[in-house]
Amino acid sequence: MKSKILLFLPFFLIFWVFPIDSQPLAKNDSQPDDPPPRIIRTCCAFGSDLKISGVPFKKITEVTSLDEIGNHVYLGGKEEGNGIIYTERGGFIDLGHLRDIADWTRYLYNVILDNKGVGKEITLGREGGKKTLSLWIPEDITKQEAANLAGRIAYDLSVWHEIGTWFGTSFIPFVPERYSAFSPEDQYSNLTGAVLGVDALTNEQPFELAMTQLIDERLTALKAVQTRKQTLDAMEAVIEDWWTRDKKLPSKKVLIQRYVNADSTLIPWIVPGLSSGDSLMPVSIPGYSDERLAEMYELNFKLNHKFPVSEIFPERTDRCISQNDFPVMMHFIEQQTDLLESEIVLELEKKQNRKRRREKRKNRNLSESRL
């Protein structure tokens, strides 16, 4: 037991020191030209009252409400009340993810405009291997095009974060984060952040003020629920279907279903039966398909040993990929998550069968004792 606690102590500490619904990891005095760190706001785990392996007295619940979300601060600040909130037309929204991608969009927008007419290569640190961004920005690019390009690259980086996390990339060494890869809300929240980031950049108001208002407007349009309890009720409605409390963090089996979507349009997952109106339809978000923008950049990743490159790309002789390889990688992940889902469902069914047998024996013994 002692060794198990020591193994997961770093994992426990990150949740204890940086509570996800209240405190960002970045400083709140950052400037627009400062590159975002790899982790801006700590990631939310999907579910409620989730237990941590080896830490018996801590449970994780990371939800928020309309009254708590606060103002947007570039690269994070104490004014923000982040977490997951349920919306009737957009499913679950992770505000930390949304804000992160909006901030990345702002940063990349400035980089793009500063490098018109010249080639530029930027090192973006390491996440599953070395990341670099190559830009070829035409002199005549408009501000709207620059914003759209920034949003597209920011969203690509968010997809890479999900891919890398699935293959073992983590913020804390030796503590896996697969439990959060491609959560039901991740991709939709990320793309929403890119869209709002672009809108904020083309707004006459300062970026932070514009984002604060745009987030409020988007949540209203998506019919966000009013209280934490309503979000928790929505999560409970899909327990043992989308996620389970039967497993403990950081087990990858906490999530049963994952939203792995390489399509250009994202459709949110809506909890059945919770809509206040029968005519409400999910709000889909079209992806970026402008081929002119696609020619202006390339993200390059030199993959580390965590990635089974020979399985995913049998024809490759090196470990270098770009954003154009994402669909192949996500197809590979989708096959793996389908197998994992079947495994989890089978384990849960066996557990329920054992529970029913125990209850049956208990009732039989009770009946016999009364004779």
User: How confident is the model over 128-158, as pLDDT tens digits?
Assistant: 999 999 999 999 999 999 999 999 999 999 9
Number of H helices, E strands in the chain: 9, 10
Question: What confidence score (pLDDT) does residue 262 get?
Answer: 80
Question: What confidence score (pLDDT) does residue 68 get?
Answer: 96
Rounded CA separation 177/161 (Å): 11
Question: What confidence score (pLDDT) does residue 212 get?
Answer: 98
**Geometric angle at alpha carbon 193, from 191 and 197, rounded to 5°:** 120
- Supply the DSSP string of 239-282, one letter for each residue: BTTTB-SSS-BT-GGGBS------SSEE-----TT--SSTT---
Strand partners, 94: 84
Q: What 3-state class would DSSP assign to 228?
A: helix
Question: What does the domain layout of the chain look like in residue ranges?
Answer: 2-370
pTM to 2 decimals? 0.89
**Cα→Cα distances 209→27, 150, 193, Å:** 18, 19, 15
Question: What confidence score (pLDDT) does residue 269 get?
Answer: 96
pLDDT, tens digit, 9 for 90 and up, residues 191-222: 999 999 999 999 999 999 999 999 999 999 99
Reading the chain (371 residues) residue by residue, the pLDDT tens digits are: 444 444 445 544 444 434 444 445 555 455 555 678 877 888 789 999 999 998 888 899 999 999 999 999 999 999 999 999 999 999 999 999 999 999 999 999 999 999 999 899 999 989 999 999 999 999 999 999 999 999 999 999 999 999 999 999 987 777 788 999 999 999 999 999 999 999 999 999 999 999 999 999 999 999 999 999 999 999 999 999 999 999 999 999 999 999 998 877 999 999 998 876 656 789 999 988 888 999 999 999 999 999 999 999 999 999 999 999 999 999 999 999 999 999 999 999 998 888 778 777 777 667 667 65
**How far apart are the two ends of the chain, measured CA to CA in Å?**
44
